[in-house]
Amino acid sequence: VSVNYLGVGLGYRRELQVALESHTGEVDFLEVIGDECFEDTACEALDLWATRMPIVCHFLGLSLGTAEAIDEAYLTRVRTVIARLRPVWISDHLAMTRVQGVDLGHLSPIAFSEESVALIARKAADVQARCGLPLLLENISYDFSLPGGSMKEVEALTRVVQASDCRILLDLTNLHVNSQNHGYDPYAYLDELPLERVSQIHIGGAVLRGSSWVDSHAHEVPMPVFDYLDYTCARSTVSSILLERDRAIPDFSELAAEMSRARDILRAYRNCPLAG
């Protein structure tokens, strides 16, 4: 997989459509939730964007962590979206979202065990081959660890991407949330992760509720996340950073400020064309 210099992008949400029209030049690429494109009409707004800038597709339902085989009907829909929007790559999570055909409605952690690593690697390699595009796997935030684990999360993610030859979508906000909630050093995590496999970074909002951090995607990006971004950019070739904002969408200027903060960090390490 060659390194793709997508720059600094924004997660596409319908509510952003109007603002995006007048700020197109400030966004290098868009990430689209693939599942929201399964309906033909919902995909129509995106056809035009796909002609204007690079698109990447983020999926929620491959459920790579489930013991069952990939849902063939789901994979067919994924491939239809790929054919239509021609994304640079696709991504999903190191998680399970469906068990025995029932949608869990959220991202559940996998067991960090030999067995689940082998299973997920097999499924991820299969999906990547059948989609004909790089598949990136994202680290999720999790409230609890499943029993039966024999390794740390970072080791499980590393082994899955190495065995499947997939890439990593590194969510630095999820790293912040997990490292705070589970009491580990985020820099040690970054030192252990094979950063040469990271193709894309997510930054997003999080909030402290009581004594726990929650990756709300509805608040500003916590400051330490930009420190992790700097640390990662200094030690890798990753050149594609995406801001996720799903709810409580503020004035575009606030999103632009977070994007330009990320862009300044990227510029310090990369010599690639960037917007803004």
Binding site for Fe ion (CB under 5 A): 171, 202
Q: Is 207 helix (H, G, I), strand (E, B) or coil?
A: strand
We find the least distance from the C-beta atom of residue 246 to Fe ion, in angstroms, to be 10
Residue closer to Fe ion, measured from CB, 140 or 256: 140
Q: Nearest Cα to 235, choosing from 185, 194, 175? A: 194
User: In this structure, are residues 167 and 137 in contact, taking their beta carbons and an 8 Å threshold?
Assistant: yes
We find the least distance from the C-beta atom of residue 59 to Fe ion, in angstroms, to be 12
Residue closer to Fe ion, measured from CB, 94 or 131: 94
Q: Which residue is nearest to Fe ion (CB)?
A: 202
Buried b / exposed e across 233-268, counting CB within 10 Å, b at 16+?
A: beebebbbbbbbbeeeeeebeebbebbbbbbebbbe
We find the least distance from the C-beta atom of residue 139 to Fe ion, in angstroms, to be 8
We find the least distance from the C-beta atom of residue 158 to Fe ion, in angstroms, to be 18
We find the least distance from the C-beta atom of residue 201 to Fe ion, in angstroms, to be 9
We find the least distance from the C-beta atom of residue 217 to Fe ion, in angstroms, to be 8
We find the least distance from the C-beta atom of residue 244 to Fe ion, in angstroms, to be 5
Neighbours of 274 (CB within 10 A): 17
d(CA 231, CA 245): 23
Residue closer to Fe ion, measured from CB, 197 or 202: 202
We find the least distance from the C-beta atom of residue 171 to Fe ion, in angstroms, to be 4
User: In this structure, are residues 265 and 230 in contact, taking their beta carbons and an 8 Å threshold?
Assistant: yes
Q: Is 61 helix (H, G, I), strand (E, B) or coil?
A: coil
Residue closer to Fe ion, measured from CB, 92 or 171: 171
Residue closer to Fe ion, measured from CB, 204 or 271: 204
Residue closer to Fe ion, measured from CB, 150 or 212: 212
Q: Nearest Cα to 198, choosing from 137, 156, 242? A: 137
d(CA 148, CA 112): 7
Q: Is 83 helix (H, G, I), strand (E, B) or coil?
A: helix
Residue closer to Fe ion, measured from CB, 147 or 182: 182
Residue closer to Fe ion, measured from CB, 120 or 221: 221
- Token representation of residue 270: 């990369």
* Residue 131: C-alpha distances to residues 9, 60, 65, 87 (Å): 23, 16, 18, 11
Q: At what angle do helices 223-234 and 252-269 cross, to 10 degrees?
A: 30
